[in-house]
Amino acid sequence: MAATLVEKFTGCILGAAIGDALGMPNEDLTLEERDLYYGGEIRDFVDPHKNTPCRFLKAGQYTDDTQLMLATSEALIESKGFDPDSMKRKLIQWLDMKDESRYRGEATKQGIENLKKGIPWQEAGIDKAGCGSATRAIPFGLYYYSNIDEAIKYARLSSCGTHKNNIAKDSAACVAAVISNLTKGRIVQLDYLKQISETIEVKNKLDDVERCLSNSRNIEQGIEEIGNSSIAHEVVGLALFIFWSNTSDFESAVRAGANAVAKGKKGDTDSIACLVGAMSGAYNGIGAIPKKWLNRIENRKTLIKVAEKLF
């Protein structure tokens, strides 16, 4: 039976958190380090190894990506849409928790420090293309699901508070557009994403994704051609490639994202799997997510409540 709209909303938010938690122990590791620490692919929630950036977390916990996705969702719900003041309050609350165990993004922290100093939303962000504002764009695709133009517009604007870089803004816009369409059961065409992107870097990255898909590249080749670093268009591009290579199977798509590591190259596995989980959850609904993960994800009740309120 096809998933209902509310099941797609809960699937998207829970899927994002589960992907984040699954990829967390692999964050910033090379393939060699992952194999050394975990004896191969991570297939379930595990405690992170003591030499990893998220070493203070436990199996099933998520990172800054999900924390900020929740903060963004709460701001959208409370102010009934994008409002920079309400968004700023939520981000400052998050910064002031000083929870470094979540391996928080540097640009995000610096951007919020600027907001705290009173620098206006549009100028506060750092001119760096990290993926922090792209994962934060997930709830824009849900809240504005019926109006894709608004989803894109506000996801871009949301990026400015922490990442005013144009690649980061384009990447956030692509995430919002994709999520909005997936809730409607539509797989966005790459041409459309290229149209809404304003930078040549993101357009080129989408070309890479298209080439990988039409040549049925495997995950290793996808990582090689698209990249798996924490730069926003690599994270978004690789997540699109992984999801589109496997649209119906949540478990194996998210697992591929969480293991997106390569020889000698550190992978942003938590953010990549977070986006894959959001996409697959928005498309297939919460019913497609394995119970073993739904039951063990940190803060499940809050995640469900937030998704229902966005709906």
DSSP code per residue over 98-159 = --GGG---HHHHHHHHHHHTT--HHHHSBS--BSHHHHTTHHHHHHTTT-HHHHHHHHHHHH
d(CA 174, CA 294): 27
| Nearest CB to Mg ion, comparing residues 63 and 114 | 63
The least distance separating Mg ion from the CB of residue 133, rounded to whole angstroms, comes to 13
Query: Residue 206 is encoded by which pair of tokens?
Result: 């989408």
CB-CB contact of 281 with 141 (8 Å): no
Q: What are phi and psi of 199, to 5 degrees?
A: -105, 145
The least distance separating Mg ion from the CB of residue 226, rounded to whole angstroms, comes to 19
| Nearest CB to Mg ion, comparing residues 161 and 285 | 161
The least distance separating Mg ion from the CB of residue 204, rounded to whole angstroms, comes to 25
| Nearest CB to Mg ion, comparing residues 3 and 12 | 12
| Nearest CB to Mg ion, comparing residues 103 and 241 | 103
The least distance separating Mg ion from the CB of residue 294, rounded to whole angstroms, comes to 21
Q: Looking at beta carbons, which residue is closest to Mg ion?
A: 63
| Nearest CB to Mg ion, comparing residues 26 and 180 | 26
State whether residue 181 is helix, strand or coil. helix
Q: Which residues would be at the binding site for Mg ion (CB under 5 A)?
A: 63-65, 270
The least distance separating Mg ion from the CB of residue 57, rounded to whole angstroms, comes to 10
